[in-house]
Amino acid sequence: MTDKLIIFDTTLRDGEQSPGASMTRDEKLRIARQLERLKVDVIEAGFAASSNGDFECVKAIAEVIKDSTICSLARANDRDISRAAEALKPANAGRLHLFLATSALHMEKKLRMTPDQVFEQAKMSVRFARNLMADIEFSPEDGYRSDPDFLCRVIEAVINEGATTINVPDTVGYAIPELYGNFIKNLRERIPNSDKAVWSVHCHNDLGMAVANSLAGVKIGGARQVECTINGLGERAGNCSLEEVVMAVKTRKDYFDLDLGIDTQQILAASRLVSQTTGFVVQPNKAVVGANAFAHASGIHQDGVLKARDTYEIMRAEDVGWSANKIVLGKLSGRNAFKQRLQELGVAMESETDINNAFVKFKDLADRKSDIFDEDILALVSDESVTHSNEQYGFVSLSQHSETGERPQACVVFTVAGKEVKGQSDGNGPVDASLKAIEIHVKSGAEMVLYSVNAISGSTESQGEVTVRLQNSGRVVNGTGSDPDIVVASAKAYLSALNKLQSKAVKVAAQG
Ligand SMILES: [Zn+2]
């Protein structure tokens, strides 16, 4: 009998805390559906009490997703817990995830509470939560930097109150694999009722060891749940990467001897969706999901792989969803074929109007680009002008002129609250001129902190996907846009970022 390793995905909560990674309700629903197809055991859908928007997102996901357990984060107080439980009401299986800091530093500087007060609050909050739901996870925030004696006291008490999962977060990414593994092992050995809960790891990647630490927590510490995110998205240097943990446990089953419920063939689709939605590009040499992860450039390697795959390959590209880029649709494809492909890609569009809008954009794209790949379709549906016709700013058209020796000029037509306006400007290049033409009208005053262009399917014939990150009075947002014309893609990305700056929802900071 082998144990099962529970995969707890927190892309929609911890991942969303990356600067600029905030997602709309529709975007979160789309990602949640893909996580369900990936068969993750638990989806942390958000932090319901942090804002009305987050509450609605958790609720919407709880209504739609039926195969995975849906979890909401909550601070260890009655109000947060009630709010989370309310959002989770429609779920088939719901989980409340309570957190309260236990390190001396956090208790003193952040909470301004004594250890005894923290102990009482932890206990009482789990007691309160247990009356609302059976599945309760408790995280002593900054657990790895907490005093082990105090931690033992708190954890024993919360298990007695009915906590079913105990998560030991390395909130600041300070751990070393062997030490972290032993830290958890030690807690489990010392706490008399430790076998009444599933133990979980939650590691950040500040020193590049989130995956290694998580695996040590599993192997040495005996944890049976890993908290992780798609592409390792997360605060600062990010979280433990789901695809890496899953493929490590699967590829080295000889060592870990653990079962996984994950459908690994859905990994790449999940990675692409998260990257396209947030504008956080995956580096080419990223394990498992990077463009080069299965590419063999050197002659010796290619020869070896052609003779026998396992000379240089420890995993099969197909097993994580890589297949040769297939042309899936073209100019002559009809609405039904398009609709069916959307379904196969897991894009659920709520209304026929949305499908019609997307189909019009698809036809328009197919006129300009003969071969349409899955990546193009995903980019098209993440284009906000398709699904959010009621946004403040919308792209209409653009013309620009650039010639060697002359200063580039651009003219952009776009909508502001439904009304068309035209902006004109020069700039250092056509992209610069186009964005200035928009800014002249909008006067956002936002500072651009990142601009990047990517070819969606690898060649100059493919669509350009642009990410623009804007910062304004402490807020950071990402906008993405795609088009075969990168100047147009840039203008769309800029308008999308401006739309996000417009929505002024303020959130309560969650744990790291
Ligand atoms: Zn975290």
What's the pLDDT tens digit per position in 279-292? 888 988 999 999 88
Per-residue pLDDT, 505: 53
How many structural domains is the chain composed of? 4
Residue-number span of the structural domain to which 407 is assigned: 386-502
Question: Rounded to the nearest whole angstrom, what is the distance from the C-alpha of residue 284 to the centroid of ligand 1?
Answer: 25
Question: What residue has token string 């430790």?
Answer: 194
- Maximal C-alpha separation, the chain: 77
Domain final residue, candidates 346, 366, 382: 382
214 CA from centroid of ligand 1 (Å) = 12
- CA of 53 relative to ligand 1 center, distance in Å: 20
pTM for this one? Answer: 0.85
CA 177 to ligand 1 center in whole angstroms: 17
CB neighbours (10 Å) of residue 250?
18
- When pLDDT is averaged across residues 44-48 and rounded to a whole number, the result is 97
45 CA distance to ligand 1 middle (Å): 14
Tell me which DSSP letter residue 429 carries.
S
d(CA 377, CA 243): 23
Query: Ligand 1 centroid vs 329 CA: distance in angstroms?
Result: 40
Distance of CA 266 to the CA centre of its chain: 15
Mean pLDDT of 14-28: 87
**Are residues 340 and 374 located together in one domain of the fold?**
yes
Distance separating alpha carbons of residues 246 and 508, to the nearest angstrom: 31
Ligand 1 geometric centre to CA of 239 (Å) = 7
Ligand 1 center to residue 412 CA distance, Å? 41
Residues 314, 354 within the same domain: no
Rounded distance from Cα 430 to ligand 1 centre (Å): 40
C-alpha 31/C-alpha 372 separation (Å) is: 22
Distance CA 351, CA 359 (A): 13
268 and 255 share one domain: yes
Quick one: tokens of 67? Answer: 């195969």
Average per-residue pLDDT in the chain? 90
In a domain, 371, yes or no: yes
- Mark whether 190 and 43 lie in a shared domain: yes
Name the domain boundary from 382, 409, 429. Answer: 382
Q: Please check whether residues 50 and 161 belong to one and the same domain.
A: yes
Question: Does 252 reside within a domain?
Answer: yes
**393 and 480 fall within a common domain:** yes
Most confident of 307-311, 381-385, 409-413: 409-413
CA of 500 to the centre of ligand 1 (A): 24
At 343, the pLDDT band (50, 70, 90 cuts) reads: confident
Kindly report the number of other CB atoms within 10 A of residue 399's CB atom: 12
Q: Is the pLDDT of residue 1 over 60?
A: no
Query: Is 411 domain-assigned?
Result: yes
Residue 66 lies in a domain: yes
202 C-alpha to center of ligand 1: Å?
A: 6
> Is 223 in a helix, a strand, or coil?
coil
- CA–CA distance, 63 with 94 (Å, rounded to integer): 11
Q: Are residues 227 and 298 in the same domain?
A: no
What's the CA-to-centroid distance between 256 and ligand 1, angstroms? 24
Give percent above pLDDT 90 in the chain.
65
In terms of domains, do 420 and 363 share one?
A: no
Q: How far is the CA of 510 from the centre of ligand 1 (A)?
A: 9
For 425, phi then psi, to 5°, come to -160, 160
Is residue 508 in a domain?
no
- Are 274 and 341 part of one and the same domain? no
Distance 60 CA to ligand 1 centre (A): 23
Provide the β-strand partners of residue 96: 72, 136
Alpha carbons 29 and 347: distance in angstroms, whole number = 9
The mean per-residue pLDDT over the stretch 174-201 comes to: 98
Q: Same domain for 482 and 391?
A: yes
Q: Quick check: helix, strand or coil at residue 353?
A: helix
Q: Which of 22-36, 45-59, 338-352, 372-386 is predicted most confidently?
A: 45-59
CATH of the domain at 405: 3.30.160.270
What pLDDT does 322 receive?
A: 81
Tokens representing 225 are: 């749940």
- CATH code at 259? 3.20.20.70
Lowest mean pLDDT among 82-96, 264-278, 324-338, 355-369: 324-338
| Contact criterion met (CB below 8 Å) for 414 and 393 | yes
The answer to whether residues 60 and 163 belong to one domain is: yes
In a domain, 285, yes or no: no
pLDDT band at 486 (very low <50, low <70, confident <90, very high): very high
Residue with tokens 């840039």: 490
Cα 408 to ligand 1 centroid, rounded to whole Å: 45
Q: pLDDT-derived band of residue 388, with 50, 70 and 90 as boundaries? A: low
Asked whether residue 511 is assigned to any structural domain, the reply reads: no
CB 407 within 8 A of CB 425: no
In a domain, 133, yes or no: yes
Q: Is the pLDDT of residue 420 over 70?
A: yes
Q: Please check whether residues 229 and 180 belong to one and the same domain.
A: yes
